[in-house]
Amino acid sequence: MTKKLPLAENYLNRELGLLEFNRRVLAQAEDPNHPLLERLKYLCIVSSNLDEFFEIRVAGLKEQINLDSPSSGPDGMNPRHVFKLVSERSRELVARQYQLLNESILPMLEEQGIRFLRRSDWNDAQREWIKAFFFRELMPVLTPIGLDPSHPFPRVLNKSLNFAVELEGRDAFGRNSGAAIVQAPRILPRVIPLPRELCESEHDFVFLSSILHAHVDELFVGMNVLQCSQFRVTRNSDLFVDEEEVKNLRIALQGELPQRHFGNAVRLEVAENCSDAMVGFLLQQFNLTLDDLYRVNGPVNLARLMTIPDKVDRADLKFSQFIPGMPAILQKKGVSIFQMIRRGDILLHHPFESFQPVIRFIQEAASDPKVIAIKQTVYRTGTDSVIMEALISAAKQGKEVTVVVELLARFDEEANINWAGRLEEAGAHVVYGVVGHKTHAKMSMVVRKEGDNLKRYVHLGTGNYHPRTARLYTDFGLFTCKEEVCSDVNDVFMQLTGLGRAGKLKHLWQSPFTLHSQILLSIQQEAKNAQAGLPSGITAKMNALLEPEIIQALYDASQAGVKIYLIVRGVCALRPGIPGLSENIKVRSIIGRFLEHSRIFYFRGAQNVYLSSADWMDRNFFRRIEVCFPVLDAKLKRRVIQEGLKPYLKDTVQAWEMDMEGHYHRKRARSNLYCAQSELLSSKKAV
């Protein structure tokens, strides 16, 4: 059957959509209703997002240009044209970032007694302390490299802080190269708090770059320093491992990871004062052009300011603290979590409800003598994980522990490699999923001996098994011991660890086998309902919507009269509101205190509610192992709709509505303000 795909003009560009998303994040930094230190955090998040955008998306664009690819994707746009637009809009975004930092956030922080001192602001006592700090902490670990035939341009690490120094004069050997590079070791903090007794405000900070600028002449004794400028290079960070050729993915990845720091350069950031001659020299060294250059008025890495809120004890400048709620059924003392699950399915809504029951599920399984086996998927879990420690403990106690570790979880590869090693040492079975498919499903299964029978319990989620992000991301998790669901989960684990054909699952939809087709069928069924005059409707919440066939199916359903509400946090390639095509589709994005991460699919005519680890993207449907699971309990189904969908459609504070051109407009009511995340915090009695 020929795939029905949208025309190129009905499909928005992914890269430009990602930049639109970052504009919405930057708007949070602009919002005076947010606490000041939280506004600084949003500014840092934009920088971190842009780093990854250049490392992955722009790097991919540049590769397409080098290969002279005619099209970058379903939007039909030429990669060179996309790159031109990306460069223009990225520059606008970065310029606004630094304008906001310099003209708004830093002055307001200073009014609150939080200062970032320039060299001209230092008093004599501060200058003496900074000088001593330089000689004590910096000088011993700095290695200035003068550039000459025996000292070629050094290898510069991805996103590291560096200084280009222009010099005149001759050194002890009579050399006069005129230039040197100083690399700031990553172990050094980028922002240094001054001792309390030297502070003229409540908190005074100094940038590492300011300290080095002030004392760079100490590194070149007898030479005259003409100029010292910060610079930073961003490199292609997509790892390449030929999974079909390698015999051991972990060993191959361990060999590849160090090369991530030295991929092809894709962006050069320099301080505003950097001379044109030095800029030209740096661009030449990194094989870049002026199109890849970003001059900035401030630190070249704003993401490093993310540590400031933790260094400043000012609760009035941060979001109020909260304690996640706990479902009443889980508050009973002396009752095991397995007994509670036997009484009925349990739904958790993070971060409004605690992630502790998930941790408890694994920890109880590890210590319970009746538990004989635990199976777990791991995508992102962090370098310090109580869940992983519990799995290691279970393995050491002789339980059958099987962990599917996704080694190719981008930027978490090293942490996952380390956990895989520790798990194997403890006696756990560790597998790395399926060649060519990332294991992104969030599943945990416990097998317990109860009398003469074996009883299975599972946890399925939309988010990672990561306690820290569970306080920052909105996600749903479901505990159940329904045999048919547990059997499905077991079958998926069998696919991941063994060999054999995929069997038919009773309740779960799974990528890469059935998820895409089932979503299509569900959309098409709603269209048939609408045409027959039956109840219909689709409300779906996800991080990204990009897959062309799904988009075309939504267009078709809209034309059939189905009312479609899409809550897409990030990039959405669908154009809503086009007469005759998508006038029945509305798209909105919620950007707030918590990162909206849950995936919820509600098909109103069929009265089906599904939760999933998968966005509606090509990679999630065809190149990943994902699961999509139904909420079978009627009461919990209503809860998902009431908590996960309706508040976000009602939001008039953090909502952005998308127009047919792909631009977003803040939906800001003057009265009757309603903030979904705040309401959910209140309803869960979090304080």
Category of 159 on φ-ψ map: left (φ > 0), alpha (ψ -120 to 50) or beta: left
Q: Which of 441, 355, 359, 445 is nearest to 629 (CA)?
A: 441
Rounded CA separation 352/359 (Å): 16
Hunting for tokens 């630190």 — which residue is that? 299
Cα of 534 vs its chain's centroid, Å: 40
- What are the distances in angstroms from CA 29 to CA 37, 76, 390? 9, 34, 39
- Rounded to 10°, the helix 386-396/413-426 angle is 20
Residues 6+ apart with CB under 8 A from 258: none
Q: For 453-506, give the secondary structure using H, E and C.
A: EEEEEEEEECCCCCCCHHHCEEEEEEEECCHHHHHHHHHHHHHHHCCCCCCCCC
Lookup: tokens for 361: 């599920």
Lookup: tokens for 661: 């051109």
Rounded CA separation 187/189 (Å): 7
- What are the distances in angstroms from CA 142 to CA 137, 219, 221, 681? 9, 9, 14, 48
The answer to whether the beta carbons of residues 12 and 75 sit under 8 Å apart is yes
Hunting for tokens 């420690």 — which residue is that? 389
Residue 440 known to be catalytic: yes
Q: What is the DSSP string of 174-216?
A: S----EEEEEPPTTS-SEEEPPGGG-SSSEEEEEHHHHHHHHG
What φ, ψ does residue 547 adopt, rounded to 5°?
A: -70, 120
Lookup: tokens for 541: 């919440």
Amino acid at 465: Y
DSSP state of 627: E
Amino acid at 220: F
The answer to whether the beta carbons of residues 249 and 191 sit under 8 Å apart is no
Lookup: tokens for 529: 């309902």
The three-class DSSP label of residue 8 is helix
- Selecting among 440, 466, 516, 597, the annotated active-site residue is 440
Rounded CA separation 591/129 (Å): 42
Hunting for tokens 């959405």 — which residue is that? 572
For the chain, give the number of residues: 687
What φ, ψ does residue 506 adopt, rounded to 5°?
A: -80, -40
Residues 6+ apart with CB under 8 A from 46: 22, 25, 26, 29, 93, 97, 302
Q: For 554-622, give the secondary structure using H, E and C.
A: HHHHHHCCCCEEEEECCCECECCCCCCCCCCEEEEEECCCCEECCEEEEECCCCEEEEECCCECHHHHH
Burial class (CB in 10 A: 0-12, 13-18, 19+), 504: exposed
Identify the bridge partners of residue 11 per DSSP, sorted by sequence position: 574
Lookup: tokens for 462: 């939309």
Q: Which of 256, 279, 253 is nearest to 268 (CA)?
A: 279
User: Which residues belong to the active site?
Assistant: 440
